[in-house]
């Protein structure tokens, strides 16, 4: 569920009137998503801009001071033919507005659905789309430091406390802190980097058949290694049964798709095993933090950190051979 705020018809009509998109016809809350409230907006339409839009209200976790970065990144990538929705600007040229004390943005609607169990052809297309993104960010004129790196993973886990982690799973405290120690000591340096997505899970990719029609939810985008972004995508796409079963055919297809658009250097390839372990820790730490800090009866469904502990086990055992 992700409509945290009620918006009245008058608020919506007044908002839409600030844009050159026609008149408001309908607004439906979108159930998917976690961080923001989203509505599918229909209007009478306008030349060159269509009649369907996503209205996002930024609720929490997103630093609205960074909206020019996130929304500018959408515009930059879509102008370079990446399957990324552009931001609709209002009549004054502004990319976002406010309703009450909350920031909102109107985003181009892209068709497609998120797949639950990707096929190799779909994974290959996602790998190629990721490489396309990596090739298109070079001349983006804004940057944002990575705030979800190793230091933040440690902070989130320490905030949970060993007892909080043990309540999730008795093995979690030792596993998490020993892995953090390993990553601190071995994290690579000097790999090619730029602004990358950092959260390209299946629910953030819209597909029409085997074709990627939309890459969405750039709100964790930040400057980091290209190979780390590939590792996040690998960890998110190549497993089933809650991380317990690796899907080699999806891994092969994802890596082949990526290689069709961007070649990995030897150093990047050698770093993939540790970057994949880091990707697992990134989602173990944020999910554990949310698990400990979200009431069990909250509207948002908590995501299980142990799904990524299972993936971490896999990468520890097979990562070196897998990416060789």
Ligand X SMILES: N[C@@H](CCOP(=O)(O)O)C(=O)O
Ligand Y SMILES: Nc1ncnc2c1ncn2[C@@H]1O[C@H](COP(=O)(O)OP(=O)(O)O)[C@@H](O)[C@H]1O
* Contact footprint for ligand X (CB under 6 A): 33-35, 199, 201, 204, 217, 283, 286-287, 303
User: Residue 323: which residues within 8 A CB-CB, separation 6 or more?
Assistant: 269, 270, 272, 273, 276
x/- contact string, 151-190, with ligand Y (CB under 6 A)?
A: ----------------------------------------
Question: Which of the choices ligand X, ligand Y, none does residue 305 contact, using the CB cut-off of 5 to 8 A by kind?
Answer: none
Contact present, 122 and 115 (Cβ < 8 Å): yes
* Under rule CB under 6 A, residue 54 binds ligand Y: yes
Angstrom distance (rounded) from CA 19 to CA 34: 26
Cβ closest to ligand X, residue 32 vs residue 101: 32
Question: Which of the choices ligand X, ligand Y, none does residue 275 contact, using the CB cut-off of 5 to 8 A by kind?
Answer: none
Contact present, 231 and 278 (Cβ < 8 Å): yes
Angstrom distance (rounded) from CA 204 to CA 57: 17
* Under rule CB under 6 A, residue 309 binds ligand Y: no
Angstrom distance (rounded) from CA 192 to CA 95: 30
Q: How far is the CB of 19 from ligand Y (least distance, A)?
A: 15
* Under rule CB under 6 A, residue 286 binds ligand Y: no
Q: Please pick, from the candidates 19, 39, 153, 219, the single residue that binds ligand Y as defined by CB under 6 A.
A: 219
For residue 203, give the 3-state DSSP assignment.
helix
Give me the residues paired with residue 97 across strands: 104
Q: Please pick, from the candidates 32, 47, 189, 297, the single residue that binds ligand Y as defined by CB under 6 A.
A: 32
Stretch that binds ligand Y, among 19-27, 178-186, 210-218, 248-256 (CB under 6 A): 210-218
Q: How far is the CB of 38 from ligand X (least distance, A)?
A: 10
User: Residue 283: which residues within 8 A CB-CB, separation 6 or more?
Assistant: 235, 303, 305, 308
């Amino acid at each position: 569920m992700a409509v945290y705020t009620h918006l009245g018809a008058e608020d919506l009509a007044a908002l839409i009137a600030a844009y050159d998109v026609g008149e408001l016809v309908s607004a439906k809350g979108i159930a998917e998503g976690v961080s923001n409230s989203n509505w599918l907006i229909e209007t009478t339409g306008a030349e060159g801009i269509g009649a369907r839009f996503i209205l996002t209200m930024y609720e929490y976790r997103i630093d609205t001071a960074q909206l020019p970065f996130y929304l500018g990144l959408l515009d930059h990538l879509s102008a370079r033919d990446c399957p990324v929705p552009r931001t609709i600007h209002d009549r004054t040229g502004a990319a976002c507005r406010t309703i009450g004390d909350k920031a909102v943005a109107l985003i181009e609607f892209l068709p497609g659905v998120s797949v639950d169990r990707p096929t190799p052809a779909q994974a290959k297309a996602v790998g190629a789309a990721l490489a396309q993104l990596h090739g298109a960010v070079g001349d983006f004129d804004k940057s944002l430091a990575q705030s979800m790196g190793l230091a933040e993973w440690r902070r989130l886990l320490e905030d949970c406390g060993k007892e909080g982690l043990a309540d999730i799973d008795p093995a979690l405290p030792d596993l998490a802190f020993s892995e953090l120690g390993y990553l601190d000591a071995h994290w690579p340096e000097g790999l090619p980097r730029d602004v990358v997505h950092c959260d390209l899970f299946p629910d953030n990719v819209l597909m029409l058949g085997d074709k990627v029609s939309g890459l969405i939810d750039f709100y964790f985008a930040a400057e980091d290694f290209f190979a780390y972004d590939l590792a996040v995508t690998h960890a998110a796409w190549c497993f089933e049964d809650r991380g317990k079963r690796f899907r080699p055919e999806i891994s092969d297809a994802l890596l082949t798709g990526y290689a069709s658009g961007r070649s990995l250097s030897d150093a990047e390839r050698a770093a993939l095993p540790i970057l994949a372990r880091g990707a697992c820790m990134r989602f173990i730490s944020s999910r554990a933090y949310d698990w400990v800090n979200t009431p069990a009866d909250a509207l948002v469904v908590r995501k299980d950190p142990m799904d990524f502990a299972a993936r971490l086990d896999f990468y520890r055992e097979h990562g070196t051979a897998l990416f060789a």
